[in-house]
Structure 1
Amino acid sequence: MSEDQFFKDEIKKAADFKFGAGVAHVFDDMVNRSVPYYGEMQRMIAELASNHAKEGGQVYDLGCSTGTTLIGMNTMVSNNVKFVGIDDSEEMLKKCRSKLEEVGFTREYELVCADIGNKVEIVNADVVVLCLTLQFVRPMYRAQLLQRIYKGLNHGGALILVEKILAEDSHFNRDFISYYYNYKRRNNYSELEISQKREALENVLIPYKLSENTGILQDTGFAHCEVFFKWYNFAGIIAVKK
């Protein structure tokens, strides 16, 4: 795993964060050092997916990045379930293919390079995962994406959503963000790295409150929604289609 030094040197002209070749190269280290309890979160996603994936159905990972979630689910989900990974970064998918080959991935799977915000088709799905992905979809397209997911899910199918969130009461936002940056400092990110990544993400990662996320899921038609993970400004939700 290559060490994340993407923001180590001072950047003269700030640019929006992109999941290009440079990020793909260090992404696994980046996400492990930047997302609290990422390993446990992945284990929980796999466990939840195993309860809903049925033989002959499909499991989608939207924004599959380097394939960590696919690999995790592979250990718990029946082999007679097809996996579909979708990402809009060919560099991420290249890394994903390499990792799947390294672990000897043998189940039927498909990797698709596409923008999930633009009419990606979901069919015969028992599980759809959005792990730290919906937050990068422009707000005006989120409801449409969730409606496509809902339509493509089989009855009893589950959407597993993990997001960075805002506090319900804005009074706590400053504190939670401070605790999060302390987490990054404990993982050896410098003040320059923290500030430059924050600036790069400012216009591309747009979080909602937990209640806003559950509200949009319920408005989409999901009959059952439950929080399965929460750490300050990160949360995981499972929503099941009746």
Structure 2
Amino acid sequence: MDKDEYFKVHVPKPFDFQFTPTVAGVFDDMVNRSVPLYGEIQRMIGELAAKHAQEHTFIYDLGCATGTSMIQAEKAVRQEVHFIGIDDSQAMLDKCRTKLQQAAFHHEYTLQVADLNHSVLVDQASVVILCLTLQFVRPINRERLLKQVFDGMITDGVIIIVEKVLAEDSNFNRDFIDFYYAMKRRHHYSDMENAQKREALENVLIPYKVSENIALLERAGFRKCEVFFKWYNFAGIIAKKTP
């Protein structure tokens, strides 16, 4: 795993964060050091996917990045399913394909380049994963995307979402952010790296509250929603499509 030093050098002019080939090369180290309990989150995604996957259906990973969620789910899923990984970065998909081959991924799979801000085809899905993905979709497009997922999902299918979130009460928001950057410093990111990445993500990653994400899911048609993970300003939500 290549070490993430993407923001280690001072950048005089701010820029919007993009998933370039350079980012793809260090992405796994980046998320392991930047996302609290990332390994446990991925293990839980695999566990939940295995519980709800149905025979001869599709498991979608929207914003699949380098394929970590696909690999974790594939380790746990025993059903006969077809995995579909979708990402708008060809560099991330190239890294994903390499990792799937190295992991001896034995289920059938398809990788597709697509921008989730536009129309995306979901069909016969029993599980749809969006791990740290919805936060990068423009707010105006999020409800439409979740409705497309709902419409393309079979009965009793589930959507698994992991997001960076805002506190429900703004009084706690500053504390949670402070605790988050303290964690990043423990993982050997400097204050300059943290500041530069925060500025690069400012107009790209737009977090919602947990309640706002659940409201989006409910408007899309999901009636059963539950938080399965919470760490200060990160949360995991699972929702089921019921008859």
Q: Distance in 2 between matches of 1:168 and 1:80?
A: 40
Which portions of structure 1, spanning 4 or more consecutive aligned residues, are displaced by more than 6 angstroms?
none
The residue type paired with residue 174 of structure 1 is: R
Q: Distance in 2 between matches of 1:237 and 1:106?
A: 28
Identical aligned pairs, as a percentage?
Answer: 59
Q: Which residue number in structure 1 is paired with residue 36 of structure 2?
A: 36
For the Cα contact (< 8 Å) 2:53–2:79, is it kept in 1? no
Q: Which residue number in structure 2 is paired with residue 11 of structure 1?
A: 11
Superposition RMSD in Å: 0.6
Q: Which residue number in structure 2 is paired with residue 212 of structure 1?
A: 212
For the Cα contact (< 8 Å) 1:136–1:204, is it kept in 2? yes
Structure 2: segments with no counterpart, 5+ residues: none
For the Cα contact (< 8 Å) 1:61–1:129, is it kept in 2? yes
For the Cα contact (< 8 Å) 1:79–1:107, is it kept in 2? no
Q: Offset at 1:103?
A: 1.1
Alignment coverage as a number of residue pairs: 242
Q: Distance in 2 between matches of 1:115 and 1:50?
A: 27
The residue type paired with residue 64 of structure 1 is: C
Q: TM-score, normalised by structure 2?
A: 0.99
Q: Which residue number in structure 2 is paired with residue 57 of structure 1?
A: 57
The residue type paired with residue 200 of structure 1 is: A
Q: Distance in 2 between matches of 1:43 and 1:110?
A: 22
The alignment partner of 1:75 has SS state of helix
Per-residue CA deviation, residues 54-83 of structure 1 (Å, 9 max, x unaligned), is 110000000000000000001111251000
Q: Distance in 2 between matches of 1:79 and 1:93?
A: 24
The residue type paired with residue 138 of structure 1 is: R
Per-residue CA deviation, residues 163-186 of structure 1 (Å, 9 max, x unaligned), is 000001111111100000000000
Q: Distance in 1 between matches of 2:10 and 2:50?
A: 44
The answer to whether structure 1 residue 117 and structure 2 residue 140 are counterparts is: no
Q: Offset at 1:106?
A: 2.0
For the Cα contact (< 8 Å) 1:55–1:78, is it kept in 2? no
Q: Which residue number in structure 2 is paired with residue 154 of structure 1?
A: 154
Q: TM-score, normalised by structure 1?
A: 0.99
Q: Which residue number in structure 1 is paired with residue 179 of structure 2?
A: 179
The residue type paired with residue 51 of structure 2 is: N
Q: Distance in 2 between matches of 1:62 and 1:78?
A: 21
Q: Distance in 2 between matches of 1:17 and 1:171?
A: 28
Q: How does 1:116-155 map to 2 (within 5 A)?
A: 116-155=116-155
The residue type paired with residue 82 of structure 1 is: H
The alignment partner of 2:16 has SS state of coil
